[in-house]
Amino acid sequence: MGQVHAQNVKSVHIFNAVAAKITKAEGARLAARPEVQPVVPDLPIPQRLPVEKAAAQSAATTPNALQTVCPPNPAVPLLEPEALQLMHVENQPGDTQPAAHDLASGAGVTVAFIADGLDIKNPEFQRTGRSIFVDYQDFSGEGTNAPTDAREAFGDAGSIAAQGNQRYDLSQIVNPAHPLPPGCNIKIKGVAPGVNLVGLKTFGEHTEAFNSYFLQAIEYAVSVDHVNVINESFGANVYPDKANDPIALANTAAVAAGVTVVVSSGDAGLTNTIGTPSDAPGVIGVGASTQFQLYKQTSSYATSLSAGGWVSDQISTINSAGFTQFGPQTVDLVAPGDLGWSVCTADLSKYTGCSDFRYGQPTKPVAVQAFGGTSESAPLVAGEAALVIQAYRQSHGGANPTPALIKQIITGSADDLGVVASEQSAGRANAYRAVQTALSVRDSNGSPAGQGDGVIPTPTRLISTANAGTDRNFNLKVTHTSNQVQTVSAAVRTLNPALVSQDTGSVNLTVGTSPTFIDERGRPVSYVQHTFSVPANVQRPNGDIAWNDQAKPNSIVRLTVFDPAGRVVAYTLPQGATAGFGHVDVHDPVPGTWTAIISTLNPANAYSGAVNFSFSTQRFEVGGSVTPASQLVQPGQTAAFTLHVALPASPGDLAASVVLNHGGTTSTVPITLRALVPINGQGGSFSGAFTGGNGRPIFGSQVFTYQFDVPRGRSVLNLAVKLQDAGYNLQGLLVTPSGQPINVETTGVPIGPNTVITSTMQFFQDNPAPGRWTAILLLNGPIAGNLREPFTAQITFSGPPVTATGVPNSAGKVLPKGRAATASITINNTGNSTKDFFIDPRLQDLGILPITSLNPTVVQMPTPTTGPASSVPAFLVPTHSSILAVGASSTVPIDMDVSYNTGAPDVQAFSIGNQALDLILAPQLAPGLWFAAPTEKGPFGPNAAPTATANTGAVVLANQFDTAVTSTSGDYWLTSQELAAPYTPLTLAPGASGTITVTITPKAAVGTVVRGFLDVDTFNSITFSGDQVTSIPYTYRVG
């Protein structure tokens, strides 16, 4: 959102919000009003880059004899992507098994996607001589004619609705080092080729993608184009993520308006990295599974070292999964996303991403691309939703199914892959079963004859947060849509943490000495081969590697795994060079000797040194009881089950699956449980272990969330986190019951111009509000080579001893006006981390305080991604603020978004014409930087939006600063009033003591009784946050 001198305020109609520019004070005032929901900044949104029944049940894999990388007859191309077969959408030519396209094509359904730009005249988007696009609009400010990367938009549109009109010869695409025979032809088809498409461009090539652009696009799709489905292959990892940011709220409102919204979960891996808005209520959040045919077609990622085939339908290592910060919940299901073919237009002057760079020929334009990530998974499911809508209409008199029913059908129809619920949730999407189920639903719109073997679960997921070690009962209803009486059985499956087997050790990878192979781009890759054994009767092999990425910055090590038949089964698919860790896991393994290829690229991102590894196996076990265990269900009827499960004995999260067997088919419903930290009179504790992430996010490569209840009347909250080793860049947030990240800390300590990464992190919070608090721990950047990094955390209700001497504490104490009086504050740092302490003197009286910005307050629109005009205002909100008001005004209509430094809270402004106003309220707002991002209102048409500027400002409602009080430490929060305010803190290492001298020079009229308090605070210059340690009241009469 914008800043609070509200200008160009624009209302958003599909949900109760407005976009506006307001001052901080105005924003604060608005935020403080109970009827106002959060006021949030308009920040850039990252685009997703292309990239036992109760024990385990085997998922079908394609036999080697049927696998091929090229068609036997070049005149009959292979049908791509492989996802079409894995999701049972359409089979390869000659395969007569039934599939979804036998029943539905998506005809009559309109699907919108929000991405970058593309060529709507591409031959794959022409049907019977006309474009399948019914609308194409720009909200980025660059215009639809501007050059664009285009890979995302082409990938989305192709995954949804490519027509299969063209023939592509892969022998002209792959690198010459790995030739394919001429005539290795494929054609590319979408899941729903019968739909109408709406393209909404929000990502510009050179402009920031702020929240307001996406809100405008969503509202346009719903209110103007009246679409049935919206696909969103974008998102962000914000902290804390309570699924109430503006885009999440807009999506939930769109769902309430009857639109199905499908969102990618992200590509940051399995380590609790699910991004917003995929966790918003009502949307379908989609993770990624594998489709390895493309790997073999292109000889990618060490697959050239084996003549074997491939095993798809594993969980991709890029799949953002695990547990959300609140709920907790996981993704709704997975779909293929690693990797598949999609379309492009071979014109690099307009579509800059349509080159053959992936296969070593970056200047060669191509009409086909290797597309992937959850960016592919989401539009595949969006296409499936379109098939479901068409099928339901066919059997229900033209009526539309609700988004809730569509979600139930899609998740209830998914294939159980036999992996943990925190990775697959309901399973991998099965479009054929979903269409059959949609045709068979009996409700107020119709009672068609049943077909297939589908079920509709209610609810689609089971969630609970409760005390550690307690039991929880759930009620689950399962509606059977087949035309036959069937027995439906239910059991609870969870992963036994005990290892059946483990092979640990290290290998030395040496560039120049280790053997090499040539990769898919024609580059030499050094590798080491390691074999390990997988015993019979296990359900999950795990593979982990770790290397010292701190000692070798920006190095990448990769892991490719082959089963005993030489088939590629898993690959780590690193997403960046800031990891130091890789993980894979596999379901339903073939027992025997497996092969791991551990490799590094020469010379880019090369690593030489020890690589630690661990290859282990596990089994599933029964994770609870179900009553009754099975039921005989009539067609169209509903069976009710009661589940009894136990929460973890220790604080943390646990996933389980309700495994439903019906008519030879297995479906699952995810269970996600969070055990609270037990708190007694002294406090509590929790522990865990970090591993690492896949390199995608710099911040939050692995995330842990712990929650605990603070009793009423505690004077201080003390949270101390300790890692086993120094050198791990950890960031933590202490979140209040109202959702404010009141303190953000890190293991980093500034020492001169450098930052030393320690093993500790300390939080103090004075006078904590009673209720449920949340601690979020984020692992950032590279690790040092350990496979596990244990940590412990202690919660207590005692803070550092603080002694005040000479502080006046009575109205009877007279201090002469203009005459300085001194007092001393002695602090003993009993925490585990070095802290910068200072005194923040405040009056008891509240006031509306204009606050400063660390960046210019005049914003260029559209805002460029680079250069001096690329910044947005960064308003410094002091402690004890309860309302932030941010306003903006311009000469053109605007929207605005305001958010905290960690991405959340995030609130959209109210906008009217050329003004916008954002108000954010809380009992105490998170102190630190809040960013305001005003934007012009779209759509903008084929050409760029006119350049304009917005003036912004902000105020807070807070305790007034007492300018009659100074100290030897200065006051960092006074910087919010004057950027040059003195600040010379008292730095204390753990166990050290020191004294700050306070000087009071009364300024008020004689006879005035002055009441205020001296906050003892700390400031973290890395996070722009800090502790509120304690508060010392003072009272005196001016003489």
* pLDDT band at 59; cut points 50, 70, 90: very low
Say how many C-beta atoms besides its own lie within 10 A of residue 507's C-beta: 17
The structure tokens listed for 703 are 């995330």
Q: What is the pLDDT of residue 64?
A: 42
Going edge to edge, which strands form the sheet with 609-618?
501-509, 609-618, 540-547, 581-585
Please determine, for residue 36, whether its predicted confidence score (pLDDT) is greater than 50.
no
Q: Is the dihedral of CA 247, 253, 255, 257 positive or negative?
A: negative
In the chain the domains, ranked by start, together with CATH numbers, are 7-48+849-955 (2.60.120), 64-389 (3.40.50.200), 501-618 (2.60.120.380), 683-796 (2.60.120.380), 802-846+961-1038 (2.60.40.10)
Q: What is the pLDDT of residue 604?
A: 78
Cα separation, 374 vs 688, whole angstroms: 28
Name the percent of the chain lying above pLDDT 70: 94
As beta bridge partners, residue 789 has 690
Lowest mean pLDDT segment, chosen from 56-60, 140-144, 346-350, 889-893 = 56-60
- DSSP per residue, 473-507: EEEEEEEE-SSS-EEEEEEEEEE--S-SEEEEEEE
Q: What is the pLDDT of residue 245?
A: 96
Pairing of strands 558-562, 568-571: antiparallel
Average pLDDT over residues 203-231: 98
**Triad 440, 446, 448: Cα angle to 5°:** 35
Q: Max alpha carbon distance in the chain (Å)?
A: 101
Cα separation, 981 vs 961, whole angstroms: 12
Tens digit of pLDDT for each residue in 323-341?
999 999 999 999 999 999 9
The CA distances from residue 416 to 333, 383, 493, 784, in Å, are 10, 20, 12, 36
Please determine, for residue 54, whether its predicted confidence score (pLDDT) is greater than 90.
no
Find, among 799, 937, 923, 932, the residue nearest to 862 by Cα: 937
Say how many C-beta atoms besides its own lie within 10 A of residue 126's C-beta: 15
Q: Is 1005 exposed, middle or buried (0-12, 13-18, 19+ CB in 10 A)?
A: exposed
Average pLDDT over residues 816-837: 98
Q: What is the pLDDT of residue 228?
A: 99
Please determine, for residue 2, whether its predicted confidence score (pLDDT) is greater than 80.
no
Average pLDDT over residues 777-795: 95
Per-residue DSSP letter, 869: G
Please determine, for residue 490, whether its predicted confidence score (pLDDT) is greater than 90.
yes
Find, among 235, 230, 275, the residue nearest to 385 by Cα: 230
Please determine, for residue 647, whether its predicted confidence score (pLDDT) is greater than 90.
yes
DSSP helix/strand/coil, 773: strand
Per-residue DSSP letter, 783: -
* pLDDT band at 752; cut points 50, 70, 90: confident
Cα separation, 400 vs 109, whole angstroms: 10
Cα separation, 462 vs 473, whole angstroms: 10
Residues 6+ apart with CB under 8 A from 441: 392, 395, 396, 401, 405, 409, 448, 456, 481
Cα separation, 174 vs 567, whole angstroms: 20
Q: Is 840 exposed, middle or buried (0-12, 13-18, 19+ CB in 10 A)?
A: buried
Please determine, for residue 597, whether its predicted confidence score (pLDDT) is greater than 70.
yes
* pLDDT band at 40; cut points 50, 70, 90: very low
Q: What is the pLDDT of residue 781?
A: 83
Q: Is 34 exposed, middle or buried (0-12, 13-18, 19+ CB in 10 A)?
A: exposed
Average pLDDT over residues 158-164: 99
Computed over every residue of the chain, the mean pLDDT equals 93
Average pLDDT over residues 137-161: 98
The CA distances from residue 846 to 29, 364, 921, 1014, in Å, are 12, 64, 15, 15
Find, among 316, 343, 314, 321, the residue nearest to 118 by Cα: 343
Please determine, for residue 824, whether its predicted confidence score (pLDDT) is greater than 60.
yes
Half-sphere exposure of 922 (CA within 13 A, CB side): 25
Q: Using an 8 Å Cβ cutoff, are 218 and 250 in contact?
A: yes
Find, among 696, 776, 742, 676, the residue nearest to 900 by Cα: 742
DSSP helix/strand/coil, 1012: strand
Cα separation, 318 vs 323, whole angstroms: 15
Name the percent of the chain lying above pLDDT 90: 90
Q: What is the pLDDT of residue 1011?
A: 98
Q: In this structure, which amino acid lies at residue 297?
A: Q
Total residue count of the chain as it appears in this document: 1039
Q: At what angle do helices 374-395 and 151-161 cross, to 10 degrees?
A: 30
Cα separation, 322 vs 331, whole angstroms: 8
Please determine, for residue 23, whether its predicted confidence score (pLDDT) is greater than 50.
no
Per-residue DSSP letter, 784: B
| Helix, strand and coil percent figures for the chain, each rounded to 5 | 10, 45, 45
* pLDDT band at 359; cut points 50, 70, 90: confident
* pLDDT band at 48; cut points 50, 70, 90: very low
Q: In this structure, which amino acid lies at residue 859?
A: V
Read off the pTM: 0.93
